[in-house]
Amino acid sequence: MNWHLSNRFDPRALPLADRHYNRQKPGTPQFVPPGRCLVLLTEDAGALWVTSWPFAEYTKHAWAGAWVNSLFRRESGHLASELILQAVAATMWRWPDIPELGMITFVNAAKVESENPGYCYEMAGFKRVGFSRGGLLTYQMLPDEMPEPEAPMAQALV
């Protein structure tokens, strides 16, 4: 397990969050949407993951109730697909009652520096299931495709 528990105000994670393409207000101390969340950071602060679990009644996409990987940024040598699988396992550890729709993520192909946007999610077992209303690629991992739950490491010391 490469992930350590973090939080939505972690100053070590802020630079990574600020460099993510969906960041709305770079520099503000909080970088996670409101609501339930799991924030993970590698020990070297080279990768950041956020699982959000918005309440279905406040969700405007077709996968209401699913966990949402709302931020994944990797600037370290860790293999992206391995980090993704570990983050899913840590999310399952945090919330053992897995939503029926599992986990989704949205990828903005125009803003990802890759010739094959979403490929790391596919290598981790996510399936491409369409597009969001805004045209973002949508990937999903259903509960029966998920790894075994695994606890992240304790919060890394600054």
> Which of these ranges, 5-14, 66-75, 110-119, has the smallest mean pLDDT?
110-119
Domain total of the chain: 1
Residue 156 in any domain: the answer is no
Residue 158 in any domain: the answer is no
Alpha helices by DSSP H, listed for the chain, are 14-18, 80-94, 119-124
Q: Which amino acid is at 80?
A: A
Please check the confidence at residue 132 and state whether its pLDDT lies above 70: yes
Residue 46 in any domain: the answer is yes
Question: Could you identify the residue written with the tokens 């528990």?
Answer: 5
pLDDT of residue 28: 83
What span, in angstroms and rounded, lies between the C-alpha atoms of 119 and 116? 6
Residue 105 in any domain: the answer is yes
pTM of the entire predicted model: 0.92
Do residues 37 and 20 lie in contact, with contact meaning Cβ atoms separated by under 8 Å? Answer: no
pLDDT in tens, 76-87: 999 999 999 999
CATH number at residue 44: 3.40.630.30
Residue 126 in any domain: the answer is yes
Please check the confidence at residue 27 and state whether its pLDDT lies above 70: yes
pLDDT of residue 156: 55
Q: What order do you get walking across the sheet with 47-53 strand by strand?
A: 3-5, 36-42, 47-53, 67-74, 103-107, 137-141, 127-131
Q: How confident is the model at residue 117 (pLDDT cuts 50, 70, 90)?
A: very high
Residue 8 in any domain: the answer is yes
pLDDT in tens, 35-48: 899 999 999 999 99
Residue 155 in any domain: the answer is no
Question: Could you give the percent of the chain with pLDDT greater than 90?
Answer: 73
What span, in angstroms and rounded, lies between the C-alpha atoms of 136 and 85? 21
Question: Could you give the percent of the chain with pLDDT greater than 70?
Answer: 97
pLDDT of residue 88: 98
Domain hosting residue 132, numbered range? 3-145
Residue 103 in any domain: the answer is yes
